[in-house]
Chain A
């Protein structure tokens, strides 16, 4: 099956710093999503980005599908950015039943004031 690896596993930042999170995947994928899991466990969709670059406020993401990686950029980090960031790629389910997500183990970000 598809393998998804994220780096770094942990990241500690001072408020205002910038950071780059990386996601490598082992096979061609049709879809890649970035999620933020807050300290209460809620998963929030950040980007649906099978290829190209997208930006949303202080966050942006780039996926280079031909080289099998994606990057999540966080600029001017804030304490509310703390949590776990997951990358997930789609796996086609048997019997054309749609797709399920294969998750990496995440990057835990801690932003201090």
Chain B
């Protein structure tokens, strides 16, 4: 089955710790995106990548980092510089020439 997977489903972070959220897709999509969702809010763009080895900051990139070494994978690292990381994180992908985005199941990040 083609789709987008995210892991883990739940993640706990201690103060000062970096954590990495995984996003993998087997849809052969060129573009991948990371969004953050806070309670009662819509999604906001953190980072996006159009092709391998290239990525760009979105609206709220501070305190986050990404890599795109493979077409299928776009991991997001939440660094200790992100002071309010508790949120629901969603990964998405799309064909570059089309605008419809498909979303993974999400990762809930909580701070201990």
Q: C-beta contact mask, B23-43 vs A, less than 8 Å → 1, else 0?
A: 000000001010000001111
Q: How many residues does chain B have at the interface if contact means C-beta atoms less than 8 Å apart?
A: 24
CB distance from A24 to the nearest CB of B (A): 14
B8 an interface residue at 8 Å Cβ cutoff?
A: no
Q: Please determine whether B41 and A43 come into contact, CB atoms closer than 8 angstroms.
A: no
Q: Please determine whether A98 and B105 come into contact, CB atoms closer than 8 angstroms.
A: no
Asked, given contacts A41-B88, A104-B42, A106-B42, whether A99 binds B99 with beta carbons under 8 Å apart, the answer is: yes
Among A30, A41, A42, A94, contact of B99 (Cβ-Cβ < 8 Å): A30
Q: How many residues does chain A have at the interface if contact means C-beta atoms less than 8 Å apart?
A: 26
Question: Which residues does chain A contribute within 8 Å of B103, judged by CB atoms?
Answer: 35, 42-43
Question: Which residues does chain A contribute within 8 Å of B43, judged by CB atoms?
Answer: 86, 88, 101, 103
Q: Please determine whether B48 and A42 come into contact, CB atoms closer than 8 angstroms.
A: no
A-B contact pairs, 10 of them (CB 8 A): A31-B99, A43-B90, A45-B101, A48-B99, A86-B43, A88-B42, A98-B50, A100-B45, A103-B44, A105-B41
Among B41, B42, B88, B94, contact of A98 (Cβ-Cβ < 8 Å): B94
Q: Please determine whether B40 and A105 come into contact, CB atoms closer than 8 angstroms.
A: yes
CA distance A95 to B51 in the complex (A): 13
Question: Which residues does chain A contribute within 8 Å of B48, judged by CB atoms?
Answer: 93, 97-98, 100
B85 an interface residue at 8 Å Cβ cutoff?
A: no
Question: Which residues does chain B contribute within 8 Å of A40, judged by CB atoms?
Answer: 105
Q: Please determine whether A86 and B42 come into contact, CB atoms closer than 8 angstroms.
A: yes
CB distance from B29 to the nearest CB of A (A): 11
Q: C-beta contact mask, A83-111 vs B, less than 8 Å → 1, else 0?
A: 00010101001110111110111100000
> B58, B96, B99: which has the most chain A beta carbons within 10 Å?
B99
Question: Which residues does chain A contribute within 8 Å of B108, judged by CB atoms?
Answer: 41
Asked, given contacts A100-B45, A101-B43, A105-B41, whether A48 binds B100 with beta carbons under 8 Å apart, the answer is: yes
